[in-house]
Amino acid sequence: MSSELGRLIARRIALTGPISVADFMAEALGHPRLGYYRRARPLGSAGDFTTAPEISQMFGELIGAWLAERWLAMGGPSVALVELGPGRGTLMSDALRATRGVPGFHAALRLHLVETNTALCAEQRRALAAFTPTWHERFDDVPPGPMLLVANEFFDALPVRQFEKTPHGWRERMVGLAPDGESLMFALAPGVTPFARFLPDAADGAQAEISEAGRTLAAAIGARVRGDGGWALIVDYGYESGSAATLQAVRGHKGVDVLERPGETDLSAHVDFAALAVAAQAPTFGPVSQADFLQRLGLLRRAETLKARASEDQRREIDVTLARLIGPDQMGTLFRVIAVGDGRSIPAGFSDAS
């Protein structure tokens, strides 16, 4: 079964020819009226996926501690606190609650949220009303000045181009029309892609991805912290370096076909952290695993503190959420963390001495 947006994309392809996977993702997720992130309620049991802040308050609390530590390392200036893709505001709400005892920290903050989903903006407004946030559709719209930025599961939703190695070289994977003239299908573009110079030597049949949008955003973040001062923390699932085709689709917490019902399905791809670090052109720390990062920030101690005043059922639930955050078979090693900043000190969470 198609979707209204799927039919629009098919009509576009019929008129102008096949489109890149990146263009398909951009339409499927960001179409002004029908894009998934414009209108869906993706989070939680009734949505399509669950993020770490929704799993446990401990995640946001430790992110708050990290932000406060970096603010103190900067000398305590007035600073823009920015979150990319804040979801329901849960992470930021937990972070700010956990740091209310840090003298001067909240008074120094101006909260800026980068969000395109109107329904989620309403939830963020309710969760963060005490901090009078300002909303932006793009990071570039955030006012200049010193900045602390958090991006949790944001870069994985940025469009990627896909490529396949053939006996004649790297060719780009495109989205075209199936023989029925209505449904969508993948096909390879004719000729070697001009992106070949950015792709590794590989055997025939190998696949790779490049996120131009991710690299562009990392470059903008790096330029901001170099020019105005500050730090950015990026948490996502992905790999340190390498090449693979990782684009996936999820609907109702289940994997589905990438091309099925665009606009009604979440699309994401693993993040190439090495590419982000290069694009940022600023001192970068990590990537480290989410498990190492959270444990260095005191996750296990925080869990024990919560369990000390919890019921038996609550203690079991804390153990379950702890395993989800740091278990090697869950989020612990698949998710990675990098920090971008001025490089004058090693941020908490990126050294065993943290």
What gap in Å lies between CA 244 and CA 208, rounded to an integer?
Answer: 4
Which stretches of the chain are DSSP H helices?
Answer: 4-16, 21-30, 36-39, 52-55, 57-73, 90-98, 105-108, 118-127, 212-228, 273-280, 290-296, 299-308, 312-326
pLDDT, tens digit, for every residue of 41-80?
A: 655 444 556 789 999 999 999 999 999 999 999 999 999 9
Closest among 110, 184, 118, 186 to 149, alpha carbons compared: 110
Cβ neighbours, 10 Å, residue 153:
21
pLDDT, tens digit, for every residue of 198-257?
A: 998 999 999 999 999 999 999 999 999 999 999 999 999 997 666 678 999 998 878 999
pLDDT at 44: 47
pLDDT at 1: 54
Third-level CATH fold of 37-159+210-340: Rossmann fold (3.40.50)
Q: Identify whether the C-beta of residue 287 lies closer than 8 Å to the C-beta of residue 303.
A: no
Q: Identify whether the C-beta of residue 347 lies closer than 8 Å to the C-beta of residue 66.
A: yes
Closest among 151, 182, 158, 178 to 25, alpha carbons compared: 158
pLDDT at 351: 87
Query: What tokens does 79 get?
Result: 């600073």
Query: What tokens does 224 get?
Result: 């901001």
pLDDT at 40: 64
Q: Beta strand pairing status for 147-152 and 271-272?
A: unpaired
For the stretch 192-214, what's the b/e string if a residue is b when 16 or more beta carbons lie within 10 angstroms of its beta carbon? ebeeeeebeeeeeebbbbbbbbb
Q: Identify whether the C-beta of residue 48 lies closer than 8 Å to the C-beta of residue 79.
A: no
Which residues does residue 147 pair with via DSSP β-bridges, in sequence order?
Answer: 80, 230
Residues of the chain with pLDDT under 50: 44-46
- DSSP character string of 222-270: HHHHHHH-EEEEEEEEEESS------EEEETTEEE-TTSSTTSSEEE--
Cβ neighbours, 10 Å, residue 273:
23
Q: Identify whether the C-beta of residue 211 lies closer than 8 Å to the C-beta of residue 160.
A: yes
Phi/psi at 239 (nearest 5 deg)?
-135, 155
CA distances from 322 to 109, 292, 319, 354 (A): 30, 13, 5, 20
Give residue 351's Cα distance to chain centre: 23
- DSSP character string of 91-123: HHHHHHHHTTTSTTHHHHEEEEEE---HHHHHH
- Residue 155: helix, strand or coil by DSSP? helix
Closest among 128, 104, 85, 151 to 336, alpha carbons compared: 151
Read off the pTM.
0.94
**DSSP state letter for 201:** -
What gap in Å lies between CA 142 and CA 81, rounded to an integer?
Answer: 10
Q: Beta strand pairing status for 147-152 and 134-136?
A: unpaired
Closest among 138, 144, 195 to 165, alpha carbons compared: 195
pLDDT at 271: 96
pLDDT at 41: 63
